């Protein structure tokens, strides 16, 4: 059989892109990931290489200078980047989501002004929904935008922004009193533009500093404080007439994000398997390689099967979105299975390494700290189960 996580039906262009990215991961990411991760150092050289490859414009239309590729291509690229180092995929993930939101929901002016610079990586995007007292319950956000003539004044505090410092545009969900019956109709998405960096990066907009994390290092995760940030109504995603549409726009982006998290989980799982299967053939106990012991061989079999299942669900969710179909249930299934299986596959690889797996010299130690993030990113497993069950009950309603 072929190696794990192969995808049938890809075009020659897709195959070429993935081959290039895989080679880049092998040569430019994996050899440096351990040092950069342990130092919590921003991977500037790696990102420069990604800019040269055009990866920041992967899904942006060719008319804006991008490659115009599909969500499936994007997901498979993320899978390969995550196989190298998950933090790299995190840097491009929020950028891709913001580019997608602008492409799908932005005004003509927003598209023409922002997408060409996003395609080159000159402008990078960040995505902000969560707040200090709000996790998966988006309806509970407190940050607010109040109209003043043809401007809005934003106040509040946002949390868990990947790319919070290095980004130049942040898609930000806040409350706006539109008079809608539903709380979800009283939310709007603003494209907040700022200078890259920490501190007050635009009038009233402050990025305080990095949040220290167990894993997912190298890429910065930040808070954002909005204190009287004044923007024109044209800063609303899609323009002034899209006020109150923010929640629905963001949920469209989240479906893309959940496919991304599934792809990240597949990438980490693949790398964990590669490390485990290599170690199991090199390390000998009781006179023979670990892989010859049935207990270890069965672990490898289960790990490979889980990777195949997760990859298949991820590919299906991406292809549904590319076909213009709603994929909230399928994206939830992919994210749920891939993240849970990733945690299991990484732990089995850790066990196969024995005591060496606990050493920082071995790559599996890093994966053990990275995998848990995927269980909560873009919605916890419990949230995915809620989405899936609601969708199934609608489909099978008596």
Looking at the annotation, which residues are catalytic?
A: 378
How far lies 62's CA from each of 48, 58, 69, 120, in Å?
21, 9, 9, 12
SS3 168: coil
How far lies 387's CA from each of 133, 258, 265, 321, 335, in Å?
22, 12, 19, 16, 11
SS3 assignment for 195-223: CCCCEEEECCEEECCECCCCCCCCCCEEE
The residues, any chain, with a CB within 8 Å of residue 102's CB and separated by 6 or more, are 110, 111, 114, 115, 118, 191, 237
Distance CA(64)–CA(58), nearest Å, equals 11
From the list 249, 321, 258, 256, the residue with the least C-alpha distance to 105 is 249
How crowded is residue 5: how many other Cβ atoms within 10 Å of its Cβ?
Answer: 22
User: Which ranges constitute the DSSP H helices of 71-181?
Assistant: 71-84, 86-105, 108-120
Give the pair of three-digit tokens for residue 78: 């993320």
Residue 125 pairs in a beta bridge with 169
Answer whether 152's CB lies under 8 Å from 230's CB.
yes
DSSP for 332-393 reads HHHHHHHHHHHHHHHHHHHHHHGGGGGSTTSHHHHHHHHGGGGGTTTS-HHHHHHHHHHHHH
Distance CA(186)–CA(270), nearest Å, equals 42
């Amino acid at each position: 059989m072929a190696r794990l996580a192969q995808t049938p039906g890809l075009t020659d262009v897709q195959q070429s892109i993935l081959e290039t990215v895989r080679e880049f991961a092998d040569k430019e990411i994996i050899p440096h990931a351990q040092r950069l991760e342990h130092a919590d150092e921003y991977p500037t050289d790696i990102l420069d290489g990604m800019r040269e490859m055009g990866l920041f414009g992967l899904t942006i239309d060719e008319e804006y200078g991008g490659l115009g590729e599909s969500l499936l291509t994007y997901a498979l690229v993320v899978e390969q980047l995550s196989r190298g180092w998950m933090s790299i995929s995190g840097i491009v993930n929020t950028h891709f989501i913001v580019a997608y939101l602008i492409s799908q929901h932005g005004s003509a002016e927003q598209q023409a002004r922002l997408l060409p610079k996003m395609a080159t990586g000159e402008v990078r995007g960040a995505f902000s929904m969560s707040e200090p007292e709000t996790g998966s319950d988006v309806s509970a956000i407190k940050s607010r935008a109040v109209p003043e003539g043809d401007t809005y004044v934003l106040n509040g505090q946002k949390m868990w922004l990947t790319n919070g410092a290095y980004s130049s545009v942040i898609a930000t969900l806040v409350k706006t009193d539109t008079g809608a019956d539903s709380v979800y109709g009283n939310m709007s998405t603003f494209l907040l533009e700022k200078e890259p960096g920490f501190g007050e990066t635009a009038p009233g907009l402050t990025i305080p500093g990095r949040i220290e994390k167990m894993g997912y290092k190298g890429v910065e995760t930040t808070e954002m404080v909005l204190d009287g940030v004044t923007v024109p109504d044209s800063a609303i995603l899609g323009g002034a007439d899209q006020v109150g549409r923010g929640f629905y726009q963001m949920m469209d982006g989240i479906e893309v994000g959940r496919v991304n998290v599934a792809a990240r989980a597949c990438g980490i799982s693949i790398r964990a398997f590669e490390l485990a299967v290599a170690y199991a053939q090199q390390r000998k106990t009781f006179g023979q390689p670990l892989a010859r012991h049935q207990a270890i061989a069965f672990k490898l079999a289960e790990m490979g099967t889980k990777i195949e299942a997760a990859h298949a669900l991820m590919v299906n969710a991406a292809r549904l979105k590319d076909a213009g179909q709603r994929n909230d249930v399928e994206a939830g299934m992919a994210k749920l299975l891939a993240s849970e299986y990733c945690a299991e596959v990484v732990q089995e690889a850790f066990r196969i390494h024995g005591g060496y797996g606990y050493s920082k010299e071995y790559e599996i130690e890093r994966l053990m700290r990275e995998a848990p993030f995927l269980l909560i990113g873009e919605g916890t497993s419990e949230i995915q189960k809620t989405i899936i069950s609601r969708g199934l009950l609608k489909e099978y309603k008596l």
